[in-house]
Amino acid sequence: MMSSGSLETLTAELAEQLPYSDIKQLAHACRKGRSGLRSLEAQVAGIAVRTACRRLRTHLPGDTDGRYAAGLLLGAAQARLKYRSDHDADIVWTGPASGIQTSRLTSAVVSELIDSARRELLLVSYATFPPASLTAALAAAAARGVEMTLLLEQPADNPKFHGAPAFPTLPAVQWSWPIRNREPGAALHAKIIVVDRHVALIGSANLTGYGFEKNLECGILLRDPTQADAIARHLESLQESGILLTSP
């Protein structure tokens, strides 16, 4: 059996990486012991939560009560929420883990950002092959009245781009950067998410399953309303001047 210190290290690591909603699910499952974690693993689609279930099971002896592990998870998550509220920026990674704890997972951060949106959401991406979890989160945001604007690369505007139309049923304003307004060979290569003009994620990850869970990607989560608003206003200015167009 693993030591309690190992369990404490693991729960702190999971609280660092996963959104609070996932931590609550894991804590609830832990209270039922290893069988609860097996059940959760079988139900969820996300790779990160399934992996967490397997790792937590190795720390629970037999099929005994896991209330101690559940308490550690929730305590670490609450501490992490308090820490993030007091800091302006976080590093966000996708890819292999290292021994240096500097960051959170891209998939977890994007999930939290979309779930936190209350008024408006701006997404900019080059490649867009969204995992089902992202499509569902955006649909839920639209259902609660969040106004969405998407600026995505289009095959008609970039001969080297071969992506398919993304989010065809999502009620969102679609912007484009037409080929006639670009320098020859230019690509719409920015990857940005802005939530309520309050928080922005700027990084290398496209809105794809690989970008969220497999590639080596890095980004900055910026909790600075002044800068988040400036990013949104810059793109709005490009649209108002006709450099970006609103798709019909």
Q: Give dist(CA 153, CA 165) in Å, integer.
A: 9
Q: Which residue has the higher pLDDT, 234 or 47?
A: 234
Label residue 2 by pLDDT band (50, 70, 90). very low
Which residue range(s) make up the domain with 222?
89-246
Q: Give dist(CA 144, CA 142) in Å, integer.
A: 5
Residues 98 and 221 in one domain: yes
Mean pLDDT in residue range 32-46: 90
The last residue of one of the domains, among 64, 85, 106, is 85
Query: What's 224's domain CATH number?
Result: 3.30.870.10
Residues 146 and 182 in one domain: yes
Mean pLDDT in residue range 110-128: 95
Residues 111 and 220 in one domain: yes
Residues 55 and 145 in one domain: no
Q: Give the global pTM.
A: 0.68
Residues 111 and 77 in one domain: no
Mean pLDDT in residue range 44-61: 88
Rg, Å, the chain Cα set: 20
Residue 60: exposed, middle, or buried by beta-carbon count in 10 A (0-12, 13-18, 19+)?
Answer: buried
Q: Is the pLDDT of residue 154 over 90?
A: yes
Nearest CA-CA partner of 170 in 200, 147, 188: 147
User: In the chain, pLDDT over 70 holds for what percent of residues?
Assistant: 93
Mean pLDDT in residue range 193-209: 96
The last residue of one of the domains, among 85, 104, 119, is 85
Q: Is the pLDDT of residue 33 over 80?
A: yes
Q: Give dist(CA 55, CA 45) in Å, integer.
A: 16
Q: Which residue has the higher pLDDT, 88 or 76?
A: 76
Q: Which residue has the higher pLDDT, 63 or 155?
A: 155
Residues 69 and 37 in one domain: yes
Mean pLDDT in residue range 112-123: 95
pLDDT at 86: 59
Structural domains of the chain, count: 2
Q: Is the pLDDT of residue 63 over 70?
A: no
Q: Residue type at 225?
A: P
Q: Is the pLDDT of residue 95 over 70?
A: yes
Residues 68 and 150 in one domain: no
Residues 126 and 240 in one domain: yes
Residues 160 and 209 in one domain: yes
The last residue of one of the domains, among 54, 85, 116, is 85
Matching residue, tokens 């891209």: 106
HSE of 32 in the Cβ direction (CA atoms, 13 Å)?
Answer: 11
Q: Is the pLDDT of residue 80 over 60?
A: yes
Q: Is the pLDDT of residue 1 over 60?
A: no
Residues 106 and 70 in one domain: no
pLDDT at 103: 66
Residues 209 and 141 in one domain: yes
User: In the chain, pLDDT over 90 holds for what percent of residues?
Assistant: 62
Q: Is the pLDDT of residue 146 over 70?
A: yes
- In Å, what is the CA distance from 188 to each residue of 145, 179, 180, 199, 229? 28, 10, 13, 22, 20
Q: Average pLDDT of the chain?
A: 89
Which alpha helices (DSSP H) does 144-244 contain, by range? 209-213, 225-240
Q: Helix %, strand %, coil % for the chain, to 5?
A: 45, 20, 35
Mean pLDDT in residue range 27-38: 92
Q: In this structure, is the dihedral angle defined by the CA atoms of residues 31, 102, 109 and 131, taken in order, positive or negative?
A: negative
Two tokens at 71?
Answer: 């308490």
pLDDT at 116: 92
pLDDT at 48: 86
Residues 9 and 103 in one domain: no
